[in-house]
Structure 1
Amino acid sequence: MDFKAMRATARERLKGYCRVCAVCDGRVCAGEVPGMGGAGTGNSFKANYRALEAVRLAMRTLHGVTEVDTGVSCFGLDLASPVHIAPMTGVSYNIGGGMSEEEFCDIVLAGAAKAGTLAWTGDGADPQMFDSGLQAMVKNGGRGVPIIKPRAQDEIIARIRRAEEAGAVAVGVDVDGAGLVTMAQFGQPVGPKSVEEIRELVASTSLPFILKGIMTANEAEAAAQAGCAAIVVSNHGGRVLDHTPGVAEVLPDIAKAVAGKITIFADGAVRSGADVLKLLALGADSVLVGRPIITGAFGGGQEGVSALLEKMRIELVQAMLLTGVARTVDADGSIIA
């Protein structure tokens, strides 16, 4: 894959919505929501990038690790990489409408499957957004994870049933979407959830249940106590609340509180395989990547998405070799300088 050409194509197709900056750190697109930027001043988006950038890896070359294994077991599947595609919706108003919601979902699910990992799909103001993800899952053998906005309980459970019918491997709710004004503007109200409501949702399905949007240790513990199979440490890409910490800042405390009790995903400014290793070392079991996948989808379609994921996996291999980490589960704080 010619990544330079892919980025040039994406830049042209995303004109007015994303500049496909050489460094995707949220500075140029601050406040561009709808769009690809961060909310308000863009501080939370920038905090994700800066917090992860500040983490340093301790290079170690005097060891016996000559081969590494990037594979992980997740939701009963053996995956080639701990990098999953984050749920993203709103192609028409966030990404310029250069392709349909259905086409975007199909591209990311097929690209993830080709790379040996999973794509997560989202929910939005238009019901067709959630439907597009489910349709793509059916087309791709159910290899997907639908994430539902924090709607009324009956609305969420109805969508969980449809996710089950589509063959999804897991399902969840992104509680970090509780303040999305676009949902209310389209008559689709969302809001925070109580622990009792989360417990009810967990009990409503036999699928592994994920809570996305956890940024404190006490809420991570509450999610574990409610029976969630996994959490995603995430501030919604910095798109919902200005002035939050970066994911890499809060992840160690969250991992200290719930590691081993619940699967931990981290979602915040992953741009390379080295970033993946940093988050694993800080306590994540796997990571989600978002904005770079849009560049891959618009710049190279399914092949662009799979090529970006494979590029990250190869970078992860290199980073693991140069820190003495044989398996992803072996990454810990000892490799942080």
Structure 2
Amino acid sequence: MDMKDVRKTAKERMKGYCRMCPICDGRACSGEVPGMGGLGTGVAFRNNVTALKAVQLNMRLLHDATEPDTSTKALGLDLSLPVMAAPIGGVSFNMGGAISEDAYIDAVLGGCKSRGIIGATGDGVPPFIVDAAMGGVKKLDGHGIPFIKPWDGAELKEKFDLAFSTGAKIYGMDVDAAGLITLRKMGRPVSPKPPVELKKIIDMVHEKGAKFILKGVMTVDEAEKAIEIGADAIVVSNHGGRVLDHAPGTATVLPAIADAVKGKICIIVDGGVRDGVDVLKMIALGAELVMIGRPFSQAAVGGEQEGVEAFIDQLTAQLTQAMVLTGCQTIDSVGRHILYGMTK
């Protein structure tokens, strides 16, 4: 399946929810939440894109890195690319509902598995969102990462019990979902979590022999706190610019976080990543893995599993070419030396 056809179909199916702009920078969809836009003025969404766009690469061709190895290891996973599909759900109110939630989840998870990477699933209301998420991971014998929102009270434990039933080996919580207006409108608010409460959740996951990802870390002090409470990984993320207007772009805050905690915890990042070159930039800035959100959603709606596979194939080709042109034979060899004006 050709990505042009995927995008054309996605544009038709997501009409009124996503314009499939040639440059997905949040300008046309500011304030469209629910939908695919950023909160309020959309500045946080745009900051993700502009911060990453400002990062420039040093072209080097006096080397022998002609056939780069894009594979990597992280969180006990062997991955063909340092890429994960971000946890996104709510096809009916965010993406137009042209395909079912089940079909969407199956497309993302199945496409990722077939191409040697892994996808995460989202959480939310109505119940069909979490049902599709957990069902999709279970169908693939646990090959997926269920993310649970920071619910209050008994609902949090109930959701984790559902997640544990999937057989997954990695679980996450997107604390950056705290305050999502879509959930408030549905009468199901979520809230920030103090470290002492998060530690209990992490301990519960570890007792299952699994790993825990904390998504929504944007400062050095909270990255250090994540280590203290035992998280296995953090995702540097502002929730796609959908929760706090005027937040900085993730590419802006990532280097300082990496300088402080890299080697002590797995660093994942999302925000404004559109292609394989962006993946390389984020790895050079200090991430070990890169989560991609909106482009995976567009590919799934536009072509279901074939669309997701086509998108991953495109990412692979773009990343490979960028590695050749910057002299990187392996993902481990990527560093700030390939970034113009950055050497540390």
Q: Please confirm whether the aligned pair reaches a TM-score higher than 0.5, indicating the same fold.
A: yes
Q: Residue 122 of structure 1 contacts residue 148 of structure 1 at CA under 8 Å; is this kept in 2? A: yes
Alpha-carbon distance in 1 for matches of 2:132, 2:281? 33
Question: What runs of 5+ residues in structure 2 fail to find an aligned partner?
Answer: none
Alpha-carbon distance in 1 for matches of 2:52, 2:70? 20
- Provide the residue aligned with 2:252 in structure 1: 249
Alpha-carbon distance in 2 for matches of 1:332, 1:91? 37
- Provide the residue aligned with 2:266 in structure 1: 263
Alpha-carbon distance in 1 for matches of 2:107, 2:22? 23
Alpha-carbon distance in 1 for matches of 2:160, 2:44? 30
Q: Residue 103 of structure 2 contacts residue 304 of structure 2 at CA under 8 Å; is this kept in 1? A: no
SS in structure 2 of the partner of residue 303 of structure 1: helix
Worse-matched range after superposition: 266-275 or 61-70: 61-70
Alpha-carbon distance in 2 for matches of 1:43, 1:184? 22
- Provide the residue aligned with 2:85 in structure 1: 85
* Residue 153 of structure 1: how far off its partner (Å): 5.2
Question: What runs of 5+ residues in structure 1 fail to find an aligned partner?
Answer: none
- Provide the residue aligned with 2:299 in structure 1: 296
* Residue 115 of structure 1: how far off its partner (Å): 1.3
SS in structure 2 of the partner of residue 173 of structure 1: strand
* Residue 136 of structure 1: how far off its partner (Å): 0.5
User: Which amino acid in the other structure matches residue 111 of structure 1?
Assistant: G
* Residue 324 of structure 1: how far off its partner (Å): 1.1
- Provide the residue aligned with 2:37 in structure 1: 37
- Provide the residue aligned with 1:208 in structure 2: 211
- Provide the residue aligned with 1:152 in structure 2: 152
For residues 182-204 of structure 1, the C-alpha deviation after alignment (integer angstroms, 9 at most, x for no partner) is 22332322101111111111111
Worse-matched range after superposition: 239-248 or 137-146: 137-146
SS in structure 1 of the partner of residue 6 of structure 2: helix
* Residue 6 of structure 1: how far off its partner (Å): 1.6
SS in structure 2 of the partner of residue 264 of structure 1: strand
TM-score, length basis structure 1: 0.97
* Residue 103 of structure 1: how far off its partner (Å): 1.3
* Residue 94 of structure 1: how far off its partner (Å): 0.8
For residues 39-66 of structure 1, the C-alpha deviation after alignment (integer angstroms, 9 at most, x for no partner) is 0010000000000000001111112222
- Provide the residue aligned with 2:49 in structure 1: 49
* Residue 97 of structure 1: how far off its partner (Å): 1.0
Q: Residue 83 of structure 1 contacts residue 309 of structure 1 at CA under 8 Å; is this kept in 2? A: no
Alpha-carbon distance in 2 for matches of 1:168, 1:27? 37
User: Which amino acid in the other structure matches residue 260 of structure 1?
Assistant: G
* Residue 73 of structure 1: how far off its partner (Å): 1.4
User: Which amino acid in the other structure matches residue 162 of structure 1?
Assistant: L
Alpha-carbon distance in 2 for matches of 1:86, 1:205? 20
* Residue 300 of structure 1: how far off its partner (Å): 1.2
2:188 aligned with 1:166 = no
Q: Residue 2 of structure 2 contacts residue 310 of structure 2 at CA under 8 Å; is this kept in 1? A: no
* Residue 254 of structure 1: how far off its partner (Å): 0.6
Alpha-carbon distance in 1 for matches of 2:66, 2:113? 27
% identical equivalent positions: 50
**Corresponding pairs, count:** 337
- Provide the residue aligned with 1:58 in structure 2: 58
* Residue 125 of structure 1: how far off its partner (Å): 2.2
* Residue 75 of structure 1: how far off its partner (Å): 2.7
* Residue 330 of structure 1: how far off its partner (Å): 1.7
How is 1:1-337 mapped onto 2 (pairs within 5 angstroms)? Answer: 1-152=1-152, 154-206=154-206, 207-337=210-340
* Residue 36 of structure 1: how far off its partner (Å): 0.3
User: Which amino acid in the other structure matches residue 286 of structure 2?
Assistant: G
SS in structure 1 of the partner of residue 92 of structure 2: helix
Q: Residue 178 of structure 1 contacts residue 190 of structure 1 at CA under 8 Å; is this kept in 2? A: yes
Alpha-carbon distance in 2 for matches of 1:154, 1:115? 37
